[in-house]
Structure formats: structure tokens, C-alpha cells
């Protein structure tokens, strides 16, 4: 045995060991490129807006991370969002009461309609409960019925959209049926200059961070994902962990659905169709492995922000013609570049580690 | 004895049973609107374009991979066909161009999947899905391309009777017994598109189930490492199958264009999930190494019967999708539950036996 000389960690390795650093670098490059073209992009206000715009996606991505950690996947989240928002929306619609209040605005008397309904917090809880219920069904079928996750959630996607259609009878819930508290909670409310959506996202982030780093059942998610057999031997209830992950995903999807509904001031039965793919992309860019067992919540947050910067920065690039047309292509190319470059870098590192190994 | 059990314990019987049940249920509910000839006409809508993509999905699922870019590939291929024709090229050239684009899209998927094995095919095809759709969006913007040749539009609507049969029933048929007339009418009701799809199935059946090449696909899907060590060129196979999948997607897109008459950038949106649903219902597993061509055909027929019936009764795509989703989950879940129960019984039985042995008489 010769003295093990500590190999100097290279710059590249530092980036790989700390995936978040690499993501931050990508973010800075992206923002830099856009700023070169449009200097107005790099303002605090715009950055805050991007975070606000990405908040809902980030919340969904946190849930998706839990699901992907246990080696499962959920492509029914857009259905869950529509269904839970619709369920809460219908309860709100049925309890709406409009009172006319005379207010004095700028010395002129005005009649203002005040729409009131079930308190907002109850609505959010209802939506989250409905979402969690959908997640529970997903989890039961996947964990206890041994059906492959992608098949289950594909089927559930159809079913849940159908249920949303049935309970709504094909009718959308419009602003006139929404309480003022609901329509305003993502728009007008802000604290310390930061929008409520960002606050909710930070709250969910904190809760999830604590849950996944310090709680036993949170750590179990990693164990189950990296090696289910070993986890089973170790006495971890694999099935319950999977169920838990799906319930968390469902509840967060319910919350996100309400946030989208409030932002759009409209609840339709096809709310955010196809959104699950963005969320999965955010997770993958953030370093969550599809096979399970690997991924960090900070990475997921940065992954979501990367997509947010791409979405918001593209119009600022002022490409030829309408940027809207280019958006999809560039999104796809960037996602592909992110995952492929990560794989390539990892491969070089592994090769180098093999070379430098002292045997 | 064992072979008989093997024949009867097949997935396909479940599908046939379900199809017959669904058919008679809706036939009973709606004797006028839901008949075999009318159902034949509806196969154009529910069977043909999805059918080609489902065959492609089967190939990919057999490998244990998944491809969610097929719908975008189909859309892009149809768009290329449209703009090539609009640019003045002859129509056959446009068709070749469309199929070639499909092949290239599939080839790119295959190269990426085999080149970066640590990445999941789902992630790769997720990004290529966005890329292909994005290219399509850039080409077409928010306009549509159409006005294809007349025969192409007819392809989407004609039945065998319209295309080849004489206006009136020929004398030899009219004079023959009733069952021959029935067959004549039955064949006459076949849409031409459906014939094109059905013509492909025998080739696939022989290739996948009866040739060594097909067995190699199953072997690769079952265990790729073992397959590679036993001399199968798994990478080359994957690239070939992904390319073939792209071609099938392009053909599906072309047939869809024949039916709709125009191509928009949202062409074939959402078909990737339909194709996977059909393949899974037909007995394929996303874990690989499972599935059959006959199963695909039967599940296509089942889907057509179910969707058309629901469409007549409810006239609502959401209810239709709900039922398809429920069917998908139930069909996959039920055998698992059966397995679970039978395992449970076996354990109980063993326990009883062990207890009897342990206790002295």
C-alpha cells in the first residue's frame, strides 16, 4: 500500500459533485445571453417576476421529485390539477354571495360588488385533499396493484379529466363565480415586495426540504428508489413509501391547480393540459434520476428556474418573426442539451476516476 | 393438458371477451346506430392512424423503451408532405419525403437512446417531442396546409364499395345464397384505409413471432445484457426499431392527413399516449419483452367498439377517454389481483400443511 495521495479535484469535478453549481452557471449564462440582447432583462423586478412565474411549476416539481425518487413517475398531474381546482371551484360557485357596497373612491360614490364565498384556506385544503385522494388512488394501484407507474398514471390521466368533466358538467367556472379572496390571492397580495406565489413556493420548499432531509420517511424515499430489495430487507415498507410519494404529489398538484386557477381567473376542465412534461423536464434538468434514488430539492428548484428563464427570456431575444413560434424548438433543444451534456460530463469524470484509481 | 391451458390462458381471450361484451352491450342499447357496417365505417376514425403508431409503440415497448415523440413525428411528416406538395413537387415525391422525415426523426431518437444509455428513453423522446413539434410550429406557424390531390382525399373516405365495386350488385352475387351476399356487403363496407392497415399486420406477425429476428427483439427486451452477451447487436437493433417506429408514425400521420384533409401544427396531438394505451391494452408491458401483434389488432378493435359506442351514447370525448382509461387500468390490474389472491391462497395452504406436519398426531 503506497501512501494515498489525494488527487486534486478538478474544476469539472467540482461542478459534477455539486450539481447545483453547474445549474447556477447555466442560469447565469442564460440570463447573460438574454441581457446582452435586451439589457432591460436584468432588473430585480423582472427576476422576481420570473420566480413568481415559475413558482407553480416549482411546487409541482417538488412533488414530482418525491415520485421520481421512489422510481415512479406521475403523468396524471395536469388531470389532478384540473379536477381538484374544479372541485374546489364548484364548492365556491355554489356558496357565492354577492353584496353591493357603496364606496367612495376619489370623492365619487361607486357601487362595488363584493363577492364572498367559502374562506380561501378551506378551498385550498379541499383542493389539496381532492388531489391527495387522486394521488392515493395512483399510489394504491402502483404500489399494491403492481401496475407500472406510467401505465397507471396514463390511464388515470384520462379518468381524472373525465371526472373533472362530469362534476363540472362541461361548464367552466368564471370570475363572476369566484370569491374576491380567491381571485386576488396570487395577484394582489404581496409581502416585502414579493408575490404570494413566491411565498407559497418558498413555504413548500422549506417544508419539503425539512421532510426529505430530516424525517425518516423522507429518507426512506431515497432508499426505496436506489434499491427496493435492500430497502425491503432493511425493514422499510417500500409500498407505503411509494404511496406516500404519490399522495404528496397529488396534494401539491391540488395546490398548484388552485394557483393556476386563481392566476387565470378561470377554471376549465382542460386546465394546463400537457403541463406534466415541463415538470418532468424541470426535475431531470435539476438532477433527479428517472430510475430513482438520486436528486436534490435545491437542484429541482434551480431546474424549474432554468425553464422559467428560458420561457421568459425567449421573447426578449427578439428572434426573427414571432418568438412564440421558436419557443417550443428552443425549449426542446435546451432540455436535450442539458441532459445530454450532463451525461457526457459524468462519463468523462468516471473515465478519469478509473484512470486515477490507486489499486 | 398443459398446452391447452396455455392456449386458453392467453391475454387475447380477455380482449376478445371484452370486445364481444362491449359490442353486444351497445348493440342492445342502440340497435339502429350501432351496427357492424356502421362500425366498419368508424374504424377510419378510431383504428387506422392509431393502429400504425401502436405497431410502432409495440416495437419500442418490446425493447423495454418508450417513445413519446411519435405524435410529433407524425405531425412533422404530414407537414413536410403538405409543403413539398404545395411547393410543386409531384405527390409521390411528397409522400416519400414524409416517410423519409419520419425515418430521420426515428433515427435521431435511436441514436440518442443508444448513444446515451444512462439517460432514459422517456426523457430523450420527451425533448425530441418538443423539438419536432417546435420545427413543425416554425414551418407552419398558425396556418394550415391542405388541398391534396383528389385521390388522397378519397383514400380517407372511400370504402371498398366506392373504390372498386360496381354500382349495382353483380348478377352472380345477387343470385347466390344469402350468406355470400352478406360477405359481399361486409367486404364492401371496409374502408380502404383499414385495408392498408390490415395488410401490414401479417408481415409484422410473421416477423415478430415467427422469425429469429423477432425472437431477438423479445430477448433484448427481456434482458439486454444477456442478449448482448449472446451475440445480439442490441444497439443496431434499437436504432433500426426506432427508425421503423418513425416510419410507422409518419405513415400514421399521412393517413390522418388523408382523413382530416388539412395539416395544422397540432396535427396528431396526443396520439402518442393513445398509441401506448393501445399497445399496453394489447398485452405489451413498459418493462419490455412482452406483447403481441395479435393483441394490438384485438385491442384496436376493442377500442373502436368501445369508443364508437360511447360516442353514440354520450357524444362526449371526455367520457370516452374516461372509459378508455378505466379499461386500461382495470385490464392491467385484474391479472395482478388474481395473481395476488392465488399467491395468498397458496401461502395459506402451505401454512396449513406445515402446521399439520408439525403437530404430532
Task: Kindly report the CATH number assigned to the domain that includes residue B105.
Answer: 1.10.3470
Predicted confidence at residue A43, as pLDDT, reads: 77
Contacts (Cβ under 8 Å, ≥6 apart) of B241: B59, B60, B62, B63, B110, B217
Residue B161 burial (C-beta neighbours within 10 Å; 0-12, 13-18, 19+): middle
In a domain, A96, yes or no: yes
In a domain, A314, yes or no: yes
- Domain residues for the domain of A95 are 22-318
Q: Would the pLDDT of A81 be above 50? A: yes
Is any Cβ of chain B less than 8 angstroms from the Cβ of A328? yes
User: In this prediction, what percent of chain A has a pLDDT beyond 90?
Assistant: 10
Out of B286, B287, B322, closest to residue A163 by CB: B322
Stretch B63-77: mean pLDDT: 89
B357, B294: one domain = no
> Is A146:B333 a contact under the CB 8 Å cutoff?
no
CB contacts, 8 Å: B299 with chain A: none
CB contacts, 8 Å: A74 with chain B: none
| pLDDT: which is higher, A305 or A269 | A305
B210, B351: one domain = no
Do the Cβ atoms of A155 and B116 come within 8 Å?
no
User: In this prediction, what percent of chain B has a pLDDT beyond 70?
Assistant: 95
Output the nine-digit C-alpha cell for A156.
388515470
Output the nine-digit C-alpha cell for B17.
371477451
Is any Cβ of chain B less than 8 angstroms from the Cβ of A169? no
Stretch A71-99: mean pLDDT: 85
| pLDDT: which is higher, A84 or B32 | A84
Predicted confidence at residue A1, as pLDDT, reads: 42
Q: Would the pLDDT of A111 be above 80? A: no
CB atoms inside a 10 Å sphere around CB B153: 17
The distance of A307 to chain B (nearest Cα, Å) reads 13
Quickly count helices (H) and strands (E) in chain A.
14, 4
B350, B266: one domain = no
B166, B65: one domain = yes
Question: Cell numbers 402502483 label which residue?
Answer: A142
CB atoms inside a 10 Å sphere around CB A356: 9
Out of B112, B126, B138, closest to residue A277 by CB: B126
Pseudo-torsion of CA B312, B317, B320, B324, nearest 10°?
A: 150
Interface test with A, best of B268, B299, B321, B341 (most A CBs within 10 A): B321
Predicted confidence at residue B244, as pLDDT, reads: 93
Q: Strands, DSSP E only, in chain A? A: 97-105, 108-116, 190-191, 194-195
User: In this prediction, what percent of chain A has a pLDDT beyond 70?
Assistant: 90
B264, B343: one domain = no
Domain boundary among B298, B315, B332: B315
Supply the DSSP symbol for B327: H
Left if phi > 0, otherwise alpha if psi is -120 to 50, otherwise beta: which for B30?
beta
In a domain, A73, yes or no: yes
Give pTM, 2 decimals. 0.81
Residues 188-247 of B with CB under 8 A from A: none
Out of B127, B141, B333, closest to residue A335 by CB: B127
Is any Cβ of chain A less than 8 angstroms from the Cβ of B137? yes
The distance of A191 to chain B (nearest Cα, Å) reads 37
Residue of chain A whose Cα is closest to the Cα of B137 = A325
Residue of chain B whose Cα is closest to the Cα of A285 = B123
| pLDDT: which is higher, A41 or B167 | A41
> Is B279:B296 a contact under the CB 8 Å cutoff?
yes
Integer Rg of chain A from CA: 23
CB atoms inside a 10 Å sphere around CB A45: 9
* pLDDT band for position A91 (cuts 50, 70, 90): confident
CB contacts, 8 Å: A150 with chain B: 66, 122, 276, 286
Report the mean per-residue pLDDT for chain B: 84
Left if phi > 0, otherwise alpha if psi is -120 to 50, otherwise beta: which for B206?
alpha
B114, B185: one domain = yes
B86, B204: one domain = yes
Residue of chain A whose Cα is closest to the Cα of B272 = A154
Predicted confidence at residue B360, as pLDDT, reads: 66
Total structural domains within chain A: 1
Predicted confidence at residue A12, as pLDDT, reads: 61
Q: Would the pLDDT of A186 be above 80? A: no
Q: Of A106-110, B32-36, B152-156, B200-204, which one has max mean pLDDT?
A: B200-204
> Is A346:B118 a contact under the CB 8 Å cutoff?
yes
CB contacts, 8 Å: A339 with chain B: 116, 119, 123-124, 127
B303, B345: one domain = no
Do the Cβ atoms of A155 and B286 come within 8 Å?
no
Do the Cβ atoms of B133 and A332 come within 8 Å?
yes
Of A74-83, B87-96, B237-246, B351-360, minimum mean pLDDT range: B351-360
The distance of B174 to chain A (nearest Cα, Å) reads 47
> Is A262:A182 a contact under the CB 8 Å cutoff?
yes
Predicted confidence at residue B48, as pLDDT, reads: 85
Do the Cβ atoms of A141 and B329 come within 8 Å?
yes
B305, B342: one domain = no
Stretch A213-239: mean pLDDT: 85
In a domain, A145, yes or no: yes
In a domain, A68, yes or no: yes
Total structural domains within chain B: 2
Residues 57-86 of B with CB under 8 A from A: 66
Domain boundary among B277, B295, B315: B315
Residues 312-331 of B with CB under 8 A from A: 316, 318-319, 321-326, 328-329
Of A14-23, A328-337, B183-192, B301-310, minimum mean pLDDT range: A14-23
* pLDDT band for position A188 (cuts 50, 70, 90): low
Is any Cβ of chain B less than 8 angstroms from the Cβ of A291? yes
CB contacts, 8 Å: A328 with chain B: 130-131, 133-134, 137
Residue-wise burial string across A317-339, b where 16 or more C-beta atoms lie within 10 A, e elsewhere: eeeeeeeebbbbbbbbebbbebb
The distance of B158 to chain A (nearest Cα, Å) reads 32
In a domain, A342, yes or no: no
* pLDDT band for position A3 (cuts 50, 70, 90): very low
Predicted confidence at residue A11, as pLDDT, reads: 63
| pLDDT: which is higher, B330 or B81 | B81
Q: Would the pLDDT of A358 be above 70? A: no
Report the mean per-residue pLDDT for chain A: 80
CB contacts, 8 Å: A278 with chain B: none
Do the Cβ atoms of B138 and A150 come within 8 Å?
no
Q: Which alpha helices (DSSP H) does A105-195 contain, by range?
A: 120-139, 149-168, 180-184
The pLDDT tens digits of the residues spanning B242-286 come to: 999 999 999 999 988 888 888 888 887 778 888 888 888 888 877
Interface test with A, best of B54, B125, B130 (most A CBs within 10 A): B130
Predicted confidence at residue B4, as pLDDT, reads: 65
B208, B330: one domain = no
In a domain, A335, yes or no: no
Stretch B33-39: mean pLDDT: 77
Is any Cβ of chain A less than 8 angstroms from the Cβ of B91? no
Contacts (Cβ under 8 Å, ≥6 apart) of A59: A200, A201, A204, A252, A255, A256, A259
B153, B50: one domain = yes
| pLDDT: which is higher, A172 or B70 | B70
- Domain residues for the domain of B194 are 2-315
Q: Of A21-25, A39-43, A264-268, B91-95, which one has max mean pLDDT?
A: B91-95
Interface test with B, best of A282, A336, A337, A341 (most B CBs within 10 A): A336
CB contacts, 8 Å: B332 with chain A: 147-148, 151-152, 155
In a domain, A70, yes or no: yes
The distance of A101 to chain B (nearest Cα, Å) reads 41
Q: Of A187-191, B75-79, B278-282, B288-292, which one has max mean pLDDT?
A: B75-79
The distance of A2 to chain B (nearest Cα, Å) reads 34
Interface test with A, best of B61, B111, B131 (most A CBs within 10 A): B131
Do the Cβ atoms of B277 and A162 come within 8 Å?
no
* Element containing residue B267 per DSSP (H, E): none
The distance of A166 to chain B (nearest Cα, Å) reads 8
CATH code for the domain in which residue A115 is found: 1.10.3470
- What is the number of CB-based contacts under 8 A between chain A and chain B? 143
Q: Of A93-97, B123-127, B243-247, B254-258, which one has max mean pLDDT?
A: B243-247
B75, B210: one domain = yes
* pLDDT band for position A23 (cuts 50, 70, 90): confident
The distance of A131 to chain B (nearest Cα, Å) reads 17
Amino acid at each position: 500500500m503506497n501512501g494515498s495521495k489525494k488527487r486534486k479535484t478538478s474544476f469539472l469535478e467540482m461542478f459534477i459533485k455539486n450539481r447545483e453549481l453547474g445549474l447556477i452557471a447555466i442560469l447565469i449564462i442564460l440570463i447573460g445571453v438574454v441581457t446582452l440582447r435586451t439589457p432591460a432583462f436584468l432588473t430585480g423586478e423582472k427576476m422576481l417576476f420570473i420566480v413568481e412565474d415559475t413558482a407553480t411549476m416549482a411546487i409541482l416539481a417538488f412533488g414530482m421529485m418525491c415520485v421520481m425518487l421512489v422510481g415512479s413517475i406521475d403523468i396524471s398531474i395536469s388531470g389532478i390539477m384540473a379536477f381538484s381546482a374544479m372541485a374546489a371551484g364548484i364548492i365556491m360557485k355554489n356558496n357565492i354571495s354577492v353584496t353591493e357596497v357603496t364606496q367612495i373612491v376619489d370623492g365619487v360614490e361607486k357601487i362595488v360588488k363584493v363577492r364572498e364565498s367559502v374562506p380561501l384556506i378551506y378551498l385550498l385544503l379541499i383542493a389539496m385533499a381532492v388531489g391527495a385522494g387522486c394521488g392515493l388512488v395512483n399510489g394504491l394501484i402502483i404500489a399494491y396493484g403492481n401496475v407500472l407507474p406510467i401505465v397507471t398514471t396514463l390511464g388515470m390521466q384520462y379518468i381524472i379529466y373525465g371526472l373533472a368533466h362530469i362534476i363540472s358538467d362541461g361548464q367552466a367556472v368564471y370570475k363572476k363565480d369566484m370569491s374576491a379572496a380567491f381571485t386576488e390571492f396570487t395577484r394582489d397580495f404581496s409581502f416585502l415586495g414579493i408575490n404570494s406565489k413566491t411565498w407559497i413556493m418558498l413555504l413548500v420548499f422549506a417544508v419539503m426540504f425539512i421532510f426529505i432531509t430530516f424525517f425518516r420517511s423522507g429518507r426512506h424515499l431515497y432508499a426505496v428508489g436506489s434499491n427496493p430489495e435492500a430497502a425491503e430487507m432493511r425493514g422499510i415498507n417500500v409500498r407505503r413509501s411509494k404511496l406516500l410519494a404519490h399522495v404528496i404529489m397529488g396534494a401539491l398538484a391540488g395546490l398548484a391547480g388552485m394557483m393556476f386557477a386563481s392566476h387565470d381567473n378561470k377554471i376549465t376542465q382542460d386546465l394546463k393540459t400537457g403541463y406534466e412534461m415541463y415538470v418532468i423536464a424541470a426535475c431531470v434538468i435539476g438532477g433527479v434520476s428517472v430510475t430513482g434514488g438520486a436528486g436534490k430539492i435545491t437542484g429541482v428548484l434551480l431546474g424549474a428556474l432554468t425553464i422559467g428563464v428560458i420561457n421568459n427570456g425567449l421573447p426578449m431575444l427578439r428572434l426573427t418573426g414571432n418568438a412564440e413560434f421558436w419557443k417550443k424548438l428552443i425549449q426542446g433543444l435546451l432540455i436535450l442539451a442539458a441532459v445530454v451534456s450532463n451525461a457526457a460530463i459524468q462519463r468523462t469524470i468516471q473515465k478519469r476516476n478509473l484512470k486515477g484509481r490507486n489499486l | 393438458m398443459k398446452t391447452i391451458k396455455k392456449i386458453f390462458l392467453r391475454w387475447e381471450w380477455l380482449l376478445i371477451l371484452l370486445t364481444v361484451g362491449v359490442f353486444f352491450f351497445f348493440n342492445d342499447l342502440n340497435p339502429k346506430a350501432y351496427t357492424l357496417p356502421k362500425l366498419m365505417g368508424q374504424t377510419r376514425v378510431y383504428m387506422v392512424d392509431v393502429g400504425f403508431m401502436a405497431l410502432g409503440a409495440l416495437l419500442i415497448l418490446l425493447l423495454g423503451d418508450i417513445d413519446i415523440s411519435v405524435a410529433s413525428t407524425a405531425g412533422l411528416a404530414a407537414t413536410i408532405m403538405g409543403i413539398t406538395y404545395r411547393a410543386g413537387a409531384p405527390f409521390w415525391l411528397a409522400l416519400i419525403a414524409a416517410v423519409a422525415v419520419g425515418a430521420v426523426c426515428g433515427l435521431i431518437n435511436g441514436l440518442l437512446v443508444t448513444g446515451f444509455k444512462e439517460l432514459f428513453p422517456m426523457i430523450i423522446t420527451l425533448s425530441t417531442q418538443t423539438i419536432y413539434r417546435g420545427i413543425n410550429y416554425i414551418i407552419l406557424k398558425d396556418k394550415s396546409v391542405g388541398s391534396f390531390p383528389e385521390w388522397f382525399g378519397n383514400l380517407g373516405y372511400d370504402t371498398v364499395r366506392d373504390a372498386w365495386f360496381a354500382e349495382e350488385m353483380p348478377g352472380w352475387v345477387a343470385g347466390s345464397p344469402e350468406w355470400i351476399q352478406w360477405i359481399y356487403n361486409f367486404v364492401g363496407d371496409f374502408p380502404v384505409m383499414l385495408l392498408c392497415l390490415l395488410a401490414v399486420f401479417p408481415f409484422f406477425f410473421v416477423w415478430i413471432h415467427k422469425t429469429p429476428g423477432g425472437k431477438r427483439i423479445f430477448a433484448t427486451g427481456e434482458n439486454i445484457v444477456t442478449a448482448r452477451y449472446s451475440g445480439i447487436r442490441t444497439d443496431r437493433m434499437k436504432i433500426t426499431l426506432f427508425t421503423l417506429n418513425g416510419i410507422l408514425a409518419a405513415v400514421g400521420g399521412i393517413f390522418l392527413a388523408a382523413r382530416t384533409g388539412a395539416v395544422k401544427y397540432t396535427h396528431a396531438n396526443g396520439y402518442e399516449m393513445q398509441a401506448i394505451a393501445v399497445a399496453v391494452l394489447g398485452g405489451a408491458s413498459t418493462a419490455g419483452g412482452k406483447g403481441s401483434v395479435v393483441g394490438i389488432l384485438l385491442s384496436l378493435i376493442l377500442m373502436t367498439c368501445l369508443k364508437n359506442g360511447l360516442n353514440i351514447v354520450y357524444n362526449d370525448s371526455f367520457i370516452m377517454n374516461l372509459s378508455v382509461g378505466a379499461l386500461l387500468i382495470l385490464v392491467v390490474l385484474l391479472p395482478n389481483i388474481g395473481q395476488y389472491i392465488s399467491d395468498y391462497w397458496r401461502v395459506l395452504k402451505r401454512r396449513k400443511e406445515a402446521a399439520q406436519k408439525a403437530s404430532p398426531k
